[in-house]
A and B are shown apart, each in its own frame.
Chain A
């Protein structure tokens, strides 16, 4: 039986690009900088979606890109094929990934852990996929510690949850709870949009 999350993202896959144009344009520069940290080893990109982020990847990398939704994978396929490097697209649930443990040097996520149903379990799964000395790099939005932004994000969450993401997740705490050591955190917009770098 397909899960609710798969159905939700399959349905969203055809209209996803239309609603993501604004954020993609506005975040182009920080995303390019974020993905410039891609190294020479094996890279896992979690929740590739329709592949909008592929345009920001540096060329010549060896990337496995996964998504829970077959619809998203279908939309991402032309962008992956046009990439100047290697991208293998796979359908996989990150809470139970069908990938070899300890096989990746780096894992990248962008705005993913606002939607994973059990974020700590998902992050634990990612930890098992990293080689010793590997790193997790996340471009994520989280809840805020600042009033009234925390109040607003809490008000938004019951509504946004119906479409996909939750706006008030304590992702930094979740990373630590999953057993990662947080190496650095950089705020990109307020304390809501941030880049988190962590080690297993």
Chain B
């Protein structure tokens, strides 16, 4: 594993998750039905993350950036949306929640990559 890239990916996913979490906290309120908030957060986060990750990819790579980045957008939007619909969520808490999911998404992608990398069983 290249640690320089890993640190850059980590910084990107933390920022991206925080941004998606904060925006979701702003957009979603307790009046939203839970399933709708979850789906809107998930799809909105994923679509928001795609151009951001593509832009960062100019310096950092392609799939190694886009795939964890979209997963971060998806999870941060989904969980922030659910929390905001259930009990309300202020912007800072939304950012912290999203940043946490950014770390988790990157680690999940990195660990799955360690498992899948190498000769494939077809």
Chain A residues with CB under 8 Å of chain B are 18-19, 21-23, 25-27, 141, 146, 148-149, 152, 155-156, 159, 172, 182, 184-194
Contacts and interface: CB of A to CB of B under 8 A. Distances in A.
A168 to B, nearest CB: 12
B89 interface: no
A182 B74 contact: no
Given A152-B74, A189-B64, A190-B112, A172 B5 contact: no
- Closest 8 A/B residue pairs (Cβ): A26-B61, A185-B120, A23-B62, A152-B70, A22-B59, A22-B61, A187-B120, A22-B60
B68 to A, nearest CB: 10
A18 to B, nearest CB: 7
Interface in B29-81: 46-47, 50, 57-67, 70-71, 74
A152 B109 CA distance: 13
Interface residues of B, number: 27
A172 B66 CA distance: 22
B122 A172 contact: yes
A154 to B, nearest CB: 11
Contact of A26 (B60, B74, B118, B122): B60
Contacts of A152: 46, 67, 70-71, 74
Contacts of B66: 156
Contact of B61 (A23, A186, A187, A190): A23
A111 to B, nearest CB: 9
A23 B63 CA distance: 8
Given A185-B122, A186-B120, A21 B58 contact: yes
